[in-house]
Structure 1
Amino acid sequence: MTNTPPPDPESSSKNPLGFDEFIAVLVAFSTIGAIIFWSLSRKDSDWNVGEIFSLSPATSPNIQQNPGLPSPVPQVQPNTETETLPSPVPTPNVESSTAPLTSDEVPSTSVLPPIAIAPVTPGQVQPPLSASKPLTPPFSLVTPAKKKSAIPPPIAFNDVPDDFWGRKFINVLSARGTIKGFPDYTFRPNQPVTRAEFAAILQQAFEDKPVQNTPKFKDIQDKFWAIPAINQAISTGFLKGYPNQTFQPEQKISRVQVLVALVSGLNLKTPASPEQILKIYKDAKDIPQYATDKVASATANGLVVNYPNLEVFAPNQEATRAEVAAMVHQALVYRGRLEAIPSNNIVRLPK
């Protein structure tokens, strides 16, 4: 009888793994471990085996559950890796909404490929990464060639024709709201002007601040519509009351009174020889004595406007709305508030 070794015991449920099988499994796991260690130790690897084993398909690489919240809320976790990047890339400064984690709480994350991210502050829109130059709009902006005037166009009054002598003066003042028309779109250029209405025109034209403690007149009630305008005209020196403490607001104002008021308010000086200046008028003898110096000053400074005859002053004639508009316009030209306009009705001294 040949002395042979006993056969190897067969695997059974009581002995699930044989010695040779155990060695094979051990070699296989050692090989897999070596491959994983080799892949993690590579710095220039384009793929990451550790990411496959450490992350599940439902989990994002940079999102961590915050254990302090009652329900799972995704949060952005700043990159804590200190690995040297292949090229100098600025690290974004991202502030976390939670308290910083300690070294024991920092989860182990695998190495991710470096990505260059420009820092973005809250509320700032980040331009596309591929934009190498500023984007230009598909259309060009059109700039007006001429700046629009802040003054509205003149009002087209239906009773002021194009050939009316005072149309230019009326257009300038009506466009600025200095003198207004009536609700029926009329100006009524030949209508006389009362002293109260003239005070209102002066208030709109010169906009001077009134002085306090203006006198109170017996013939003006407390709720009279022109009280603010009258007080301003008196305090600024344009108008005066009468010696018996009356103002006579409804009295029609004369042409000479209009010019005396304008010269007084503008504080114009009396010329050297007023009598010589007044010889330009054929009716100079009709000028009241108290107003000769004022009229001469108004003439020398271009405030007098006569129609239809340039040499007829008509001092005691009631001033019309067109005449008041023309004389107030000339006073504003003297103050530098308006530009001069050409007119054959402005009295000018011979040179």
Structure 2
Amino acid sequence: MTNRPLSEPESSQRTALGFDEFIAILVAFATIGAILFWSLSRRDSSWNLNGLLSPSSTPSRSVQPNQVSPFPTPKVEPNVAPNNVLPSSPPEAVVEPKTPAFSSNSATPYRAVLPSILVIPTPSPQLQTPVSPPTELESSLKSSALPLVTPAKPKSIIPPPIAFNDVPNNFWSRRFIDVLSSRGILKGFPDYSFRPNQPVNRAEFAAILQKAFEQEPSKTAIAFQDVPAKFWANSAIDQAISTGFLKGYPKKTFKPQQNITRVQVLVALVSGLNLKAPSSQNQILSVYKDPKDIPTYATSKIAAATANGLVVNYPNPQILAPNKVATRAEVAAMIHQALVKQGKLERISSQNIVRRRSSSQASGSVSPKLSPTPKQASR
């Protein structure tokens, strides 16, 4: 048997690959295939490794309006949105930066702009919406608010009239009494009665004048000898005297307890309202059947009262009865007419209000009667 030299290695037989070697080879081929697939899919980026850099790894730089970026700035195509718009950018903002021109054969294509370089364009003036200051916004809100609805007629604050138990609905002076009682000018008695046919004395009439006309009294008051210092109607009497409605009697007397007559009521109202006497007094007074009963001192005053619609006669409008004591119902009617003359109350249609005679009736062409002819009240 021949011995072989030690330098010649003994030929070994070829053995099959093990499981571990097969797995290693498979992983290597898979890795190579993934790299090739990724490189082929990124062919349009021209193998620019700058796109692989993280935005945080590259320091951010801002581009000034007149400064050229070290990286070529892409040309913005119309209607094409760049891929590097941040997600936080408003979708309605249109980015139209002014970029310097560059050659078409530049080494860096359009999509190779680093994400770290952010160009903040100035929005177009047409897209800017001015924001109103808080004061202007508040005023605009106030002006745009719906206006308050104003009723056609103001709500009345006048309480309903007092339902007096002795004034029936068909009483001739009921409407005059209702208007004055609802405004507190006339008051009733504790038993809810008005006593319309009761006479009125001078002190009571002064109190009614004070409530009705509310005129300021003068500072100088007359100390009447027949009016006590603590008399209940002192202020009313002072006001009636100072405003010209009433006058005293000789020897500084007022006679507060004396009943007032119808002619005195009308003279007081004409004097307090400063109504001028008409020129044709006889023609005006011819409307009455008893003009001769009018006192001489009151002729012009009664003519003025008749011409201005202050006279209210019941039951016959043609009978004045000037010297008859005035009742509470008659005073209410005449005070109402004086307030109508001042424009403080609305007119009431009543057949008892005396109206002056027309010129045709005064000439005698028409039978003498009131115009319009009032019906005599039968109530």
TM range (shorter): 0.5 to 0.7
What residue is the counterpart of 1:333 in the other structure?
340
Gap runs ≥5 in structure 2: 1-52, 63-83, 89-117, 359-379
Paired residue for 1:37, among 28, 38, 57? 57
- 1:119-164 Cα deviation digits (max 9, x unpaired): 9869x99xxxxxxxx9999xx9876454323433333322221111
**Cα offset for 1:205?**
1.5
Letter paired with 1:249: P
What residue is the counterpart of 1:263 in the other structure?
270
**Cα offset for 1:208?**
1.7
What residue is the counterpart of 2:244 in the other structure?
237
Distance between the aligned counterparts of 1:141 and 1:214, measured in 2?
A: 50
Cα pair 1:195 1:250 within 8 Å, conserved: yes
Distance between the aligned counterparts of 1:162 and 1:85, measured in 2?
A: 89
Cα pair 1:39 1:45 within 8 Å, conserved: no
Cα pair 1:237 1:264 within 8 Å, conserved: yes
Letter paired with 1:242: Y
**Cα offset for 1:264?**
1.1
Distance between the aligned counterparts of 1:142 and 1:337, measured in 2?
A: 27
What residue is the counterpart of 2:233 in the other structure?
226
**Cα offset for 1:272?**
2.7
**Cα offset for 1:170?**
1.3
Distance between the aligned counterparts of 2:264 and 2:350, measured in 1?
A: 23
What residue is the counterpart of 2:322 in the other structure?
315
**Cα offset for 1:189?**
1.4
Question: Structure 1 residues 86, 223: CA separation in 2 closer, same or farther (over 3 Å shift)?
Answer: farther
What residue is the counterpart of 1:178 in the other structure?
185
Residue 226 of structure 2: SS of its match in structure 1? Answer: coil
Paired residue for 1:288, among 286, 289, 295? 295
What residue is the counterpart of 1:64 in the other structure?
none
For the pair 1:195 / 2:193, whether they are aligned, the reply is no
For the pair 1:215 / 2:235, whether they are aligned, the reply is no
- 1:31-60 Cα deviation digits (max 9, x unpaired): xx966334866985448xxxxxxxxxxxxx
- 1:51-110 Cα deviation digits (max 9, x unpaired): xxxxxxxxxxxxxxxxxxxxxxxxxxxxxxxx9856659xxxxxxxxxxxxxxxxxxxxx
Gap runs ≥5 in structure 1: 1-32, 48-82, 90-115, 126-133
**Cα offset for 1:239?**
0.1
Distance between the aligned counterparts of 1:176 and 1:206, measured in 2?
A: 12
Letter paired with 1:191: Q
The CA RMSD over aligned residues, in Å, is: 3.8
For the pair 1:205 / 2:225, whether they are aligned, the reply is no
Letter paired with 1:254: T
The farther-off stretch of 333-342 and 148-157 is 148-157
Distance between the aligned counterparts of 2:331 and 2:251, measured in 1?
A: 27
Cα pair 1:305 1:327 within 8 Å, conserved: yes
What residue is the counterpart of 1:98 in the other structure?
none
Cα pair 2:207 2:233 within 8 Å, conserved: yes
User: Superposed, which structure 2 residues align to 1:1-351 within 5 Å?
Assistant: 36-38=56-58, 44-46=85-87, 144=151, 146-351=153-358
Letter paired with 2:320: F
**Cα offset for 1:309?**
1.3
Residue 37 of structure 1: SS of its match in structure 2? Answer: coil
**Cα offset for 1:259?**
0.7
Question: Structure 1 residues 270, 143: CA separation in 2 closer, same or farther (over 3 Å shift)?
Answer: closer
Distance between the aligned counterparts of 1:170 and 1:211, measured in 2?
A: 30
Normalised by the length of structure 1, the TM-score is 0.61
Distance between the aligned counterparts of 2:321 and 2:242, measured in 1?
A: 28
**Cα offset for 1:310?**
1.4
Distance between the aligned counterparts of 2:162 and 2:332, measured in 1?
A: 14
Distance between the aligned counterparts of 2:273 and 2:145, measured in 1?
A: 57
**Cα offset for 1:165?**
0.5
